[in-house]
Structure 1
Amino acid sequence: MAAAPTIPVPLTNFITVNNHRYFANHPTIQLIDHCSNADHLKQIHAQMLRAGLFFDPFSASKLIHSSVFTEFSSLHYAHKVFDQIPHPNLYSWNVLIRAYASSPQPINCISMFIRLLHEGREKPNKFTYPFVIKASAKLADLQLGKGIHGMVIKEGFSSDLFVSNCLIHLYAECRCLDMSARVFSSMPQRDVVSWNSMINGLAQNDCVDEALEFFRRMEREGVNPNDVTMVGVLSACGKKLDLKFGRWLHSYIEKNGITLSLILGIMDAITVQQA
């Protein structure tokens, strides 16, 4: 296999100018956006190390982001990059925490979060907690989730919409639906995701009547459902075996222009995952 072509980049006057805007416009940093494979990214990584660019938080964070959110991403490599940063900023922590939360190893997200609490120069923010909550939900660890929820309240993020939506999902995954409802009721504002989290959580836990009642309440409050809403409603309807309600629901879907084929496709995918 032929070696990847070397990327010619001047390496002078990098470390003598400690200005983020300057580094953001530097040729080495700009090349990150144009990487097409992992070999090119590693070349840029090596040049950044030689040039001292890892002392600049913006530059290091940009490399980590590209290491996990590209088609040639590698969490192992991203973690290696992270460990080479002398003083990672909160954005760098959040990128890696987010990546681990979406990975098959959500426990690593929790490990990074604990490490942030002990080693980080900044405290977790409202962008950190949703992904830590997501990892707790994937682990279905109720005690861990309650601990994170307590931290959310202490840090003043309990009214954040995204954080609250994640908490509803967390408690539903842990089959603690009273807590899901409590979080939902305490929210100063809600969006369709809030309603979907309740409806789908109730349906998945066989609380069929409650799920359908939430849907009716959603209708009364004038919140427009989407495809995800209807997945939960159809799931509840199937368990209830209510032919009359099923016919009404089919009419409702057609009248509101909701894509039935997409809904059925999502439901098929969920069925396969749960099999």
Structure 2
Amino acid sequence: MQQQEIWDADTARRYDTPGTGMFAPEVLEPTVDRLAALAGTGAALEFAVGTGRVAVPLAGRGVPVAGVELSPHMVERLRTKADETSIPVAVGDMTTSVVPGEYTLVYLVYNTISNLLTQTAQVACFRNAARHLTPGGRFVVELWVPELRNLPPGQAATVWQSEPGYIGLDTYDVLNQLVESHHFRFDDTEQARLFRSPHRYVWPAELDLMAQLAGFELESRHADWTGSPFTAESRSHVSVYRIPAARSTATATAAR
């Protein structure tokens, strides 16, 4: 499926889960706290801004926020929370769309860089982030660590979450570094709702090389937004990349 097909009107309508899941205060508040600190006195740009889960509360902290979003249906939901003046959004691809302005922070949260299904597209995303940043600016990527250690030979899927009313599992194509996520939601009836999405998984080391190609340096990596140490057992990471304060001609060219 194409990303435009996945993020349709029905998905946009069901995306927000106030107070639970990715919208739970214990998930959202540390994210916004960290991003506000990284933005400082500058402006922030969110790639794949969606319905404004992060952008709206970040703007509420006084940080000027703009966004890029592929799905017009998601932007329609965002517009019920903030108008174009409050959070301007360019409808387009985060690998190529250019948003006017200067930014000290570009961020990409909740595994969204994996929605880009080729290495070339993921590198282009880094270069587009660099294109928008002032010298010394930062690009933040939140991404899960592939769970291949839980995938024994001959098995193609892992269950990564199981709780009442929900099962999440991933099926892997290890040859092409692709994974399809399956989200099953159900109640006491015999019916269940399935949402599927394709992804390209990326190891932290590969992500760091993408960053170097775009002129970034790795500034920090933690296991979560609160700053927990990143270890071999961490299931995800928050990586902060920085454009050197004095960019050379070669670095500036790499970002274009």
Report the TM-score, using the length of structure 2 for normalisation: 0.28
Q: Larger % of strand: which?
A: 2
Structure showing greater Rg: 1
Which fold has the larger relative contact order, with Cα–Cα distance below 8 Å and residues 6 or more apart in sequence? Answer: 2
Q: TM-score, normalised by structure 1?
A: 0.27
Greater share of helix: 1
